[in-house]
Amino acid sequence: MLDVEYWIEKIPDADSLIMAQNDIMKFNQKIVEKCDSVYDLRSYGVGFTHDELLSLIKEYKMSEKEMYFRNGEVVKSDFYNYIADNLNISGIKEVNSVQYGITIRKTSIRSFPTDIAVYSKRGDIEFDRFQETLCQALEPVLVLHESKDKNWHFIQMYNYRGWAKSTDIAIAKNKEEVFDYLDTDDFIVVTGNHVRTQFNPYYSDVSEIQFDMGTTIPLEKDMPDSVANQSIYGNYVIKLPSRDDKGNLVFKDGLISIKEDVRRGYAPYTRANVLNQAFKLIGDRYGWGDSFNGRDCSSFIMYVYKTFGFRLPRNADEQEKCPGIVRKFADGLSLDERIKIFDLIKPGALIYMSGHAMMFVGIDSGVPYIIHDFTGYGVKIGDKYDFIPVNEVMVTSSLLPTSMGIPFIGRFSSAIQFEM
């Protein structure tokens, strides 16, 4: 069951095109219209009033519960005071203009301008409560504010907002400079788990840069004879953003081997390709908010679908609001009735329950199976269920018990096929 062909062979129309690229672009626009958390950055506002910007920054609240550092020490008020001061609230002007930028490498988006991790349980190192998500490399972002220590930018990406390290963002002259670079028909898409640029002994800022599944990378139009004294043969010549000594956007050439798991243009959107992409991540480490160089349940879905050109919301509850062919699992349905709904659901469809996102892969022996990036399941010991950690991408039966003892399928709320 860990072999993708086992499931693809069960799909009659596995290689049929579900939607062409133009239709996917139209679908993305419907996502923007329907989902409040997804933005078209090209039409974003040019500035904010003092109160408007303050309300965005204040969306993140300090916990009133006792919290802990990685070493188990209790987080005290002086740390929270430092964070509050670094928000640089006094630096918010009456009118605050928006700057455009590009991420030069993948970067964490944090609740607050600090990379110090904070946990809700002593001894826990899995769930850093200040870690929101990851912004991939080569993403357009809007810089809305700067921290007091100038090490952090408060940014808006297409589906998330928060604090990112300023050294990971190159500031553009204007909107046009960003989208003239990104709006190209000549690009490669990372279809593997991770790929890296070739080592560059002359420019460390474009040397061995890691790009993750779903990242789109523009190709260089003005082809050089070599890059960093290396022949370009056997490589894609890519055009990469970098920062000058003032943090402004400049471009440099880099190389990615043609043998890496990348492709020119988006992958064709077929059910076989969706499963192929998902199964490439089997065994990959779970990471809350994309920590540990991994992904969590909803970003696993988001990045798989990004290889086809989809721009999905970040979190599971927001993804569940997306347009498409939707099947609901009403409360009160029996187990057999829930299984019967899968007669109407195609492999590659997304399955949601409160706090979790999964992908349907097919039916085996009358049981629906899913692939998901999940933390664990429940095993009955005596009269209660104990939590068994997994923390990876894996294929499981939908009948697998959750930590509460209820099968996963018993908590499903909806299934969505991204189709017009």
CA distance 300 to 361: 15
Query: What residues have CB less than 8 Å from 187, skipping those under 6 apart?
Result: 216, 217, 218, 219, 264, 265
Residues of the chain with CATH 3.90.1720.10: 4-19+269-417
Element (H, E) at 347: none
Neighbour count for residue 205 (Cβ, 10 Å): 16
**pLDDT at residue 218 in the model:** 98
Q: What are 230's strand-pairing partners?
A: 227
Please give the model's pTM, rounded to 2 decimal places.
0.95
Residue 324 has pLDDT above 90, yes or no: yes
The CATH number of domain 4-19+269-417, selected from 1.10.1740.10, 3.90.1720.10, 1.10.10.10, 3.30.230.70: 3.90.1720.10
Closest by CA to 358, choosing from 380, 329, 381, 332, is 329
| pLDDT tens-digit map of 158-213 | 999 999 999 999 999 999 999 999 999 999 999 999 999 999 999 999 999 999 99
Question: Mean pLDDT, to the nearest integer, of 321-335?
Answer: 97
| Alpha carbons 239 and 131: distance in angstroms, whole number | 30
What is the pLDDT averaged over residues 370-384?
96
- 131 near 117, Cβ under 8 Å? yes
According to the CATH classification, is domain 184-264 in 2.60.120? no
Contact assessment for residue 138 and residue 293, using Cβ atoms and an 8 Å cutoff: no
Per-residue CA distances from 323 to 34, 36, 194, 353 (Å): 7, 13, 29, 17
Q: Which helix (H) or strand (E) holds 111?
A: none
- Residue 149 sits at φ, ψ, to 5 deg, of -85, 0
Assign 300 to helix, strand or coil. Answer: helix
| CATH 2.30.30 segments of the chain | 184-264
Helices (H), 12-117: 21-34, 50-57, 77-86
For 232-281, the pLDDT digits (tens) are: 999 999 999 999 999 999 999 999 999 999 999 999 999 999 999 999 99
Over pLDDT 90: what percentage of the chain?
A: 99
Supply the pLDDT for residue 41. Answer: 96
- Look-up: residue for tokens 């500031």? 171
Q: Grade residue 45 by pLDDT with cuts at 50, 70 and 90.
A: confident
Q: Which two tokens stand for residue 213?
A: 């599944």
Over 90: is that where the pLDDT of 225 sits?
yes
pLDDT at residue number 90:
97
CA distance 385 to 39: 42
For the chain, give percent helix, strand, coil, nearest 5: 25, 35, 45
Cα separation, 141 vs 164, in Å, equals 10
Residue type, 290: D
On the question of pLDDT at 420 being above 90, the answer is no
For the chain, the first-to-last Cα distance in angstroms comes to 30
Q: Tell me, what's the pLDDT at 79?
A: 97
At 110-134, the pLDDT tens digits run 999 999 999 999 999 999 999 999 9
